[in-house]
Amino acid sequence: MKHVYLDNAATTQVHPNVIAKMQEALAVYGNPSSTHSFGRTAKTAIESARKTIAKYMNAQPSEIIFTSGGTEADNMILRCAVRDLGVKTIITTRIEHHAVLHTVEELEQKGLIQLWYVDLDAYGNPDLAHLESLLQKDDSKKLVSLMHVNNEIGNKIDLKEITLLSKKYDALVHSDTVQSLGHYHWDVKAFPIDFLAAAAHKFHGPKGVGFAFIRKNSGLNSMISGGSQERGLRAGTESFHNIVGLEEAFKHAYDNLDEEKQYVEGLKSYFIDQVKSVIPDAKFNGHSGDLDKSTYTLVNVCLPIEEEKAMLLLFNLDMKGIACSKGSACQSGSDMGSHVLTQILTDEDMKKPSVRFSFSTYNTKEDIDYTVNVLKEIIEA
């Protein structure tokens, strides 16, 4: 049976160079906090990784804090901004990743903040006029948290414009950039964003490691108490081999970004054309069918399948060797519909199955041909 992996927005295949670097790192067993030569060897490699990531982002090394992934980075930034920086209002949307949504909802439930949601247009884009009205609403210390690339529908926002608008009203700005770091060039000196979150496994690195970009002199303190690792901002012995893997994946992503982006964007364009040709009644959710307004790495398709058959769609695709997702992988075990699609689709379209297909350089046009043909067979069965 043919195997086609089109769930790269959930996680990516680890690059062979990353595996090799991590295997070498596992032989370095010194604790990075130890002062002897074994520890210094590990510490030197960690600081090298920090410098590498900072260089590609035009950040300072001290602004890169290693975490266990994007979820921890989001939690750390949001919770500590409330605790340490006097944030009383968080402004976000209802289609953020749950690492953000569940965190801010909990902060609101505990009475620590007031929570405001920016209105969305029919495609799922934040209404900037409404955002500005919320920024003007009162004198409370505010933090705006909007993801750069939506993990389900792929919409891409103008983060620079949003940051500059927010700064007019002295608001802090955080973005979950898990779906975009490693896929787009970044220059954190080009606009004054305060906080970003990233995860290595979204760009062919290992799971269980990521980082937070925290602007210098932000005033944040550690969320996890213990040792003084990560400049005192994240206690606990660093996951040395994972950090080395993150560095290698980051280097590969940015040294090859333009070439790989062109290839993957070509796959997405081909997928869109094939779906439009073979399944003309299919709809692309959000802006995922627009190459200019969405990320080049994914599409989200509403398929013309009746409700009963829709329940077994992912199972049938899996039986044909095709890996994809009905939304975020974090949601895959839930019977609840997508919280993102609920905000933008009609009740009629919500009854139909919507599937996210996401691409990487490991995919081919043959993968897409096979997938579209299987979809056609399922629809016509």
Q: What is the DSSP string of 135-204?
A: HTS-SS-EEEE--SB-TTT-BB--HHHHHHHHHTTT-EEEEE-TTTBTTB---TTSS---EEEEEGGGGT
233-252 burial code (b ≥16 CB/10 A, e <16): bbeeebbbbbbbbbbbbbbb
Residue of 80, 302, 324, 330 with catalytic role:
330
Q: How many CB atoms lie within 10 A of CB 313?
A: 20
Return the bridge partners of 266, or none. none
Residue 102, helix vs strand vs coil: helix
Residue 83, helix vs strand vs coil: helix
Q: How many CB atoms lie within 10 A of CB 165?
A: 17
Structure confidence by residue, pLDDT tens digits, 147-196: 999 999 999 999 999 999 999 999 999 999 999 999 999 999 999 999 99
Question: Can 330 be counted among the known catalytic residues?
Answer: yes
Q: How many CB atoms lie within 10 A of CB 348?
A: 8
Run of H or E residues at 4:
strand 4-5
Structure confidence by residue, pLDDT tens digits, 242-281: 999 999 999 999 999 999 999 999 999 999 999 999 999 9
Ordered structural domains, the chain, with CATH: 4-12+257-380 (3.90.1150.10), 16-255 (3.40.640.10)
36/43 Cα distance (integer angstroms) = 10
Burial class (CB in 10 A: 0-12, 13-18, 19+), 74: buried
pTM: 0.95
Q: Reading across the β-sheet that carries 114-117, which strands appear in turn?
A: 64-67, 210-214, 195-199, 172-176, 142-145, 89-92, 114-117
Task: Note down pLDDT in tens along the chain; length 381 residues.
Answer: 899 999 999 999 999 999 999 999 999 999 999 999 999 999 999 999 999 999 999 999 999 999 999 999 999 999 999 999 999 999 999 999 999 999 999 999 999 999 999 999 999 999 999 999 999 999 999 999 999 999 999 999 999 999 999 999 999 999 999 999 999 999 999 999 999 999 999 999 999 999 999 999 999 999 999 999 999 999 999 999 999 999 999 999 999 999 999 999 999 999 999 999 999 999 999 999 999 999 999 999 999 998 788 889 999 999 999 999 985 444 444 456 799 999 999 999 999 999 999 999 999 999 999 999 999 999 998
